[in-house]
Amino acid sequence: MHVVVNAATSVDGKLASRRRTQLKISGPEDFDRVDRVRAAADGVMVGVGTVLADDPRLALDVEDRRVERLKNGRPGNPARVVADSTARTPPDARILDDAATTYLLVSEAAPEERVEALRERGGVVVVAGDDRVDLPGAFERLESRGLDRLMVEGGGELIFSLFEADLVDELSVYVGSMVVGGRDAPTLADGEGFVEAFPRLTLEAVDRLDDGVVLSYTVE
Ligand SMILES: NC(=O)c1ccc[n+]([C@@H]2O[C@H](COP(=O)([O-])OP(=O)(O)OC[C@H]3O[C@@H](n4cnc5c(N)ncnc54)[C@H](O)[C@@H]3O)[C@@H](O)[C@H]2O)c1
Ligand SMILES: Nc1nc(=O)c(N)c(NC[C@H](O)[C@H](O)[C@H](O)COP(=O)(O)O)[nH]1
């Protein structure tokens, strides 16, 4: 599976403030770019921390003719994917609406009644891993269901795990011209952090959009 990570940060590398509520870092030009990256993907993924903080829908505006064109003849919206070890996605989350198929990646530790509630809302549950989602195993299962290109929008815990498991092929970061600060504010890559063998990236492009810059990398 080809994995493209896309996120927006402040100049100090934060994805959100310490309150973890959604922070508009991108401007209209970058959100248009995000729509294009989504439209080119078979699936769009977030961690459950992002579902709980932002209640995202992760769908394209299919009424928008411009977005329709961008889909390159692909039918409908890309699938949605949530890494959710213990099935904490609220059954009324917007990500479970009928705009697209939603895969919930859970572990064996997910309580059966919560898993069942998500199935009742139409979610497709994939069990991989003992107490945390085994990302390589889960991605193999998604691939067998036709997801070849996956866009990941965050948050920082999930992005770190993907780098740790060597699953990231491309990274693009929109750096907005703002300072957020806060030692507890989520950053692009949280988790435990690396102390050696840091992933190395190749800078492929630098583009100015709105009042910020998009940095596009491939992963070595
Ligand atoms: N600016 C942006 O581009 C952007 C994008 C996404 C999210 N955000 C922000 O990020 C914050 C949420 O990020 P976060 O880091 O708290 O949560 P996250 O979205 O990275 O989700 C982390 C959760 O995913 C689950 N998970 C399951 N398997 C996992 C695995 N193998 N590795 C890691 N996690 C796994 C765990 O329950 C974990 O707690 C929110 O404040 C949101 O607003 C910002
Ligand atoms: N590119 C980008 N710029 C931002 O300034 C920002 N806050 C996010 N945040 C990503 C996060 O995953 C959001 O929750 C979804 O971008 C919301 O997605 P919807 O509009 O609900 O589909 N992403």
The series of mean pLDDT values per 10 residues for the chain, 220 residues long, is 98 97 93 92 97 94 60 76 98 96 98 98 98 98 97 97 98 98 97 96 97 97
Question: For a substitution probing ligand 2, which of 5, 19, 22, 35 has the most ligand atoms within 8 Å of its CB?
Answer: 22
The reply to whether ligand 2 has any atom less than 6 angstroms from the CB of 25 is yes
Residues framing ligand 1 (Cβ under 6 A): 7-8, 15-16, 20, 22, 25, 46-50, 53-54, 83-85, 132-133, 135, 153-158, 161, 186, 190
Query: Residue 24 has what pLDDT?
Result: 94
Phi, psi for 112 (deg, rounded to 5): -55, -35
Query: Residue 60 has what pLDDT?
Result: 84
Q: Which residue type does 196 have?
A: E
Query: Residue 73 has what pLDDT?
Result: 58
Query: Residue 67 has what pLDDT?
Result: 60
Query: Residue 63 has what pLDDT?
Result: 61
Query: Residue 158 has what pLDDT?
Result: 98
Ligand 2 atom 15 nearest Cα? 56
User: Structural domain boundaries of the chain?
Assistant: 2-170
The reply to whether ligand 2 has any atom less than 6 angstroms from the CB of 216 is no
**ipTM, two decimals:** 0.98
* 119 Cα: distance to centroid of ligand 2 (angstroms): 25
Which residues pair with residue 9 across a beta bridge?
175
* 44 Cα: distance to centroid of ligand 1 (angstroms): 13
* 148 Cα: distance to centroid of ligand 2 (angstroms): 22
Distance of CA 183 to the CA centre of its chain: 22
Query: Residue 27 has what pLDDT?
Result: 95
DSSP 133-184: --HHHHHHHHHHTT--EEEEEE-HHHHHHHHHTT--SEEEEEE-S-----TT
The reply to whether ligand 2 has any atom less than 6 angstroms from the CB of 17 is no
Ligand 1 atom 10 nearest Cα? 155
CATH number assigned to the domain covering 2-170 = 3.40.430.10
* 166 Cα: distance to centroid of ligand 2 (angstroms): 24
Query: Residue 110 has what pLDDT?
Result: 98
Longest dimension (CA), the chain: 48
| Alpha-carbon dihedral sign for residues 97, 101, 102, 104 | positive
Residue 87 to residue 105: CA distance in whole angstroms:
8
Query: Residue 22 has what pLDDT?
Result: 86
Which H/E stretch holds residue 66? helix 65-70
The pTM assigned to this predicted structure is 0.96
Residue 133 to residue 157: CA distance in whole angstroms:
12
